[in-house]
Amino acid sequence: MKKIVVLSGAGMSAESGISTFRDSNGLWRNYRMEEVASPIAWQNDMDLVLEFYNIRRKQLFEVEPNDGHKAIVELEEHYDVNIVTQNVDDLHERAGSKNILHLHGEMKKVRSTIDESLVYELDHWELKKGDLCEKGSQLRPHIVWFGEAVPAISEAVNIVSQADILIIIGTSLAVYPAASLIDYAQTNIPIYYIDLNANDFSFKSNVKCIAERAGQAIPKLVEELIKSK
């Protein structure tokens, strides 16, 4: 089976109602990332950081996967699909996708602040000060904050380097190392970049830009790829 790698960003989940970061109504218009998504922020104002993720985690219990997520599940019946996502929501999982690598963590998980191997699933939305791990330390969001290493990046590079087809969806390609993954694709494989701003970018000739909504463009691309397999 041919290998397809999907690199998804916030635009993948936008049509499910989850805010992106850098669009006009994005999260970074309302919060300064260094105040809510960094180790310094956690030290300076744990309550604000907890609130920032609690508000977003609460929303996760209210949204559903969209047509784009569902179309990728259909693609998985015809290709060996790996998803590498920058998203911390669980919409790919809830749509039914299997091979998912979260580069920037997962919102429904929390972890110990003295032993990062202690990771727990949250079945509710609120993480509070005083919620402790089994070793007695405060639990924190299981998110890669700005300034922290991206533990999954080498696995992601390995996955992308084996792709026969690469589909990049709904990301501004503004954050590294995630944005560099495109450079690890084999030369001249077909690459599709689905993003409302796709035409603002110039890529090599093997990259096809599709400046459409993910929920509209992905089903069309999936139909095309299934026909041509």
Residues that bind ligand APR (CB under 6 A): 9-11, 14-15, 20-23, 26, 86, 104, 170-172, 174-175, 194-197, 213-214
124 is catalytic: no
Closer residue to ligand APR, CB minimum distance, 26 or 190 = 26
> Least CB distance from residue 1 to ligand APR, whole Å?
27
Q: How far is the CB of 125 from ligand APR (least distance, A)?
A: 19
Closer CB to ligand APR, 21 or 79, in the complex: 21
Contact at 8 Å (CB) between 138 and 163?
A: no
Please say whether the beta carbons of 219 and 67 come within 8 A: yes
How far apart are CB 166 and ligand APR at their closest, in Å?
16
Marked catalytic residue, from 69, 102, 104, 142: 104
Phi-psi region of 192 (alpha: psi -120 to 50; beta: other; left: phi over 0): beta
In whole angstroms, the minimum distance from the beta carbon of 14 to ligand APR comes to 4
Tell me whether residue 164 or residue 212 sits nearer to ligand APR (CB atom). Answer: 212
Cβ closer to ligand APR: 9 or 141? 9
Residue whose Cβ sits closest to ligand APR: 11
Nearer to ligand APR, 11 or 141 (CB): 11
Contact indicator for 49, 41 with CB cutoff of 8 Å: yes
- Catalytic (active-site) positions: 104
